[in-house]
């Protein structure tokens, strides 16, 4: 959680400071609650004050798309979309319609809906959440502070992934021809996972068997988890457009220095970040859909060839998160 600088209107020096006091929670869960305080420090009496706190979560996306790549000139269309995931407001009543000078503390709490998506940022789109405290008088904003929140979404039912909990093995093979020594060879990557469903913040442990049937060394294998995002937007003419983009989530480079005609087993560990979007559909998140791949890549020496092994994995909400229910009334 990070704080944005406070801003005060130069027209009114009544407000000395405005501060949001929030819990020391690094990542909030969808379906949970947030409790905090708005602290207002006044230099003098404030008449007809409007003091409120808002919780807002929204997503937006935008990209440029070529209308016709065959044209000799550039003509692109802007595609965009947006979604509102949460908008809640708490207005505080003041006695007799005024606030005396000094420090005033206002308690508030909000509940996050259980089906909202995770905080997410890319070059195309963003899903963000923030709490904002505002002090106004006679429709003039005197002071305002905004605090961004990290939120782990739980959209998607983990029970639909139960069938995917079995071990998974994927094999990739690349044939290589070395014209300099008139030889033919191949490299085989065999990636084994105990399961294919993981949770945000969990550690992925997997085994890679590398078979080098070439006359060259295999120096390095790069492992990475990619998030493949499907964006849904609309052009200025109201036509629905889709764009798929890849975002690297976490990465590991493994130095193998594997000699010709050798077989090697490599055990690797990748730690997933938190928060991160769970595997979902456009129906779940309105403007973005998310899926994931574990990818192993190795450039084969003395050639322009690259061997790539792709393992589809699922990022799901934990059973505890997806069954979370709130019975608490909001203040």
**In terms of domains, do 148 and 23 share one?**
yes
Residues 6+ apart with CB under 8 A from 71: none
**In terms of domains, do 82 and 147 share one?**
yes
Residue in the structure block whose two tokens are 């790539």? 308
**In terms of domains, do 190 and 301 share one?**
yes
**In terms of domains, do 131 and 42 share one?**
yes
Per residue in 261-301, pLDDT (tens digit) is 889 999 999 999 999 999 999 988 899 999 999 999 998 77
Please state, rounded to an integer, the average pLDDT across all residues of the chain.
86
**In terms of domains, do 140 and 272 share one?**
no
pLDDT of residue 243: 96
User: Could you give the 3-state DSSP secondary structure of residue 78?
Assistant: strand
In the chain, % of residues over pLDDT 70: 85
Q: Is 4 inside a domain boundary? A: no
Q: Is 195 inside a domain boundary? A: yes
Task: Count the residues in the chain.
Answer: 331
Neighbours of 213 (CB within 10 A): 16
**In terms of domains, do 294 and 173 share one?**
yes
Q: Is 42 inside a domain boundary? A: yes
pLDDT of residue 47: 87
Q: Give the domain CATH number at 42.
A: 2.60.40.640
**In terms of domains, do 81 and 46 share one?**
yes
pLDDT of residue 321: 53
**In terms of domains, do 141 and 190 share one?**
no
H-run or E-run covering 320 = helix 319-322
End-to-end Cα, the chain, rounded Å: 23
Contact between residue 306 and residue 190 where contact means Cβ atoms under 8 Å apart? no
Which segment of 45-49, 106-110, 290-294 scores lowest on mean pLDDT? 45-49
Burial of 115 (0-12, 13-18, 19+ CB in 10 A): middle
Q: Which residue has the higher pLDDT, 167 or 314?
A: 314
Q: Is 157 inside a domain boundary? A: no
Q: Is 269 inside a domain boundary? A: yes
Q: Is 5 inside a domain boundary? A: no
Which segment of 75-84, 97-106, 157-166 scores lowest on mean pLDDT? 157-166
Q: What is the DSSP letter of 319?
A: H
Domain boundary among the residues 98, 125, 152 is at 152
Q: What is d(CA 314, CA 81) in angstroms, rounded to the nearest whole number?
A: 26
Q: Is 327 inside a domain boundary? A: no
Q: What is d(CA 111, CA 35) in angstroms, rounded to the nearest whole number?
A: 9
**In terms of domains, do 226 and 141 share one?**
no
Domain boundary among the residues 98, 122, 152 is at 152
DSSP 230-288: EEEEE-TTS-EEEEEEEEEEEEEEEEEEEPTTEEEEEEEEEEPPSS-PPS--HHHHSSE
- The whole domain housing 45 covers 15-152
**In terms of domains, do 103 and 190 share one?**
no
DSSP 163-193: GG-S-EEEEEEEEEEETTTTEEEEEEEEEEE
**In terms of domains, do 147 and 172 share one?**
no
Per residue in 82-98, pLDDT (tens digit) is 999 999 999 998 878 88
Task: Output the CA–CA distances (angstroms, integers) from residue 2 to 22, 60, 219, 275, in the order listed.
Answer: 10, 21, 42, 15
Q: Is 324 inside a domain boundary? A: no
Contact between residue 129 and residue 56 where contact means Cβ atoms under 8 Å apart? yes
Task: Output the CA–CA distances (angstroms, integers) from residue 125 to 45, 154, 232, 250, in the order listed.
Answer: 44, 19, 10, 19
Per residue in 163-189, pLDDT (tens digit) is 666 788 999 998 887 665 556 788 899
Q: What is d(CA 23, CA 37) in angstroms, rounded to the nearest whole number?
A: 9
pLDDT of residue 324: 44
Q: What is d(CA 217, CA 258) in angstroms, rounded to the nearest whole number?
A: 5
Contact between residue 163 and residue 157 where contact means Cβ atoms under 8 Å apart? no
Per residue in 204-263, pLDDT (tens digit) is 999 999 998 888 888 889 999 999 999 999 998 899 999 999 999 999 999 888 888 889
**In terms of domains, do 65 and 196 share one?**
no
Q: What is the CA radius of gyration of the chain?
A: 27
What's the domain count of the chain?
2
Confidence of residue 160 (pLDDT cuts 50, 70, 90): low
Residue 124, sorted as left (phi over 0), alpha (psi -120 to 50) or beta, turns out to be alpha
Q: What is d(CA 249, CA 18) in angstroms, rounded to the nearest whole number?
A: 37
Domain boundary among the residues 152, 179, 204 is at 152
Q: What is d(CA 295, CA 189) in angstroms, rounded to the nearest whole number?
A: 11
Strand 288-299 and strand 240-258: the pairing is unpaired
């Amino acid at each position: 959680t990070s704080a944005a600088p406070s801003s005060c209107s130069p027209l009114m020096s009544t407000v000395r400071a405005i501060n949001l006091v929030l819990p020391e929670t690094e990542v909030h869960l969808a379906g949970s609650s947030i409790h905090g305080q708005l602290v207002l420090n006044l230099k003098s009496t404030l008449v007809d004050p409007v003091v409120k706190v808002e919780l807002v979560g929204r997503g937006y996306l935008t990209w440029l798309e070529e209308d016709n790549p065959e044209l000799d000139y550039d003509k692109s269309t802007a595609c965009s979309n947006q979604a509102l995931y949460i908008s809640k407001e708490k207005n505080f009543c003041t006695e007799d319609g005024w606030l005396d000078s000094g420090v005033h503390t206002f308690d508030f709490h909000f509940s996050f809906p259980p089906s909202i998506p995770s905080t997410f940022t890319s070059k195309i789109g963003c899903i963000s959440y923030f709490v904002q405290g505002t002090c106004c008088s006679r429709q003039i904003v005197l002071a305002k502070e905004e605090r961004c929140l990290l939120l782990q979404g739980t959209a998607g039912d983990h029970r639909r992934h139960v069938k995917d909990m079995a071990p998974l093995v994927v094999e990739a093979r690349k044939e290589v021809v070395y014209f300099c020594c008139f030889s033919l060879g191949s490299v085989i990557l065999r990636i084994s996972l105990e399961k294919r469903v993981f949770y945000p913040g969990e550690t992925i442990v997997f085994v890679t068997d590398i078979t080098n049937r070439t006359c060259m060394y295999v120096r390095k294998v790069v492992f990475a988890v990619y998030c493949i995002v499907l964006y849904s937007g609309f052009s200025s003419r109201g036509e629905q457009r889709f764009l798929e983009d890849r975002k690297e989530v976490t990465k590991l480079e493994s130095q193998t220095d594997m000699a010709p005609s050798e077989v090697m087993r490599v055990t690797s560990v990748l730690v997933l970040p938190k928060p991160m979007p769970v595997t979902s559909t456009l129906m779940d998140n309105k403007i973005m859909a998310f899926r994931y791949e574990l990818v192993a890549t190795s450039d084969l020496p003395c050639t322009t060839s690259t061997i790539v092994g792709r393992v589809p994995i699922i990022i799901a909400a934990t059973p505890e998160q997806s069954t979370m229910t709130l019975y608490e009334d909001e203040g």
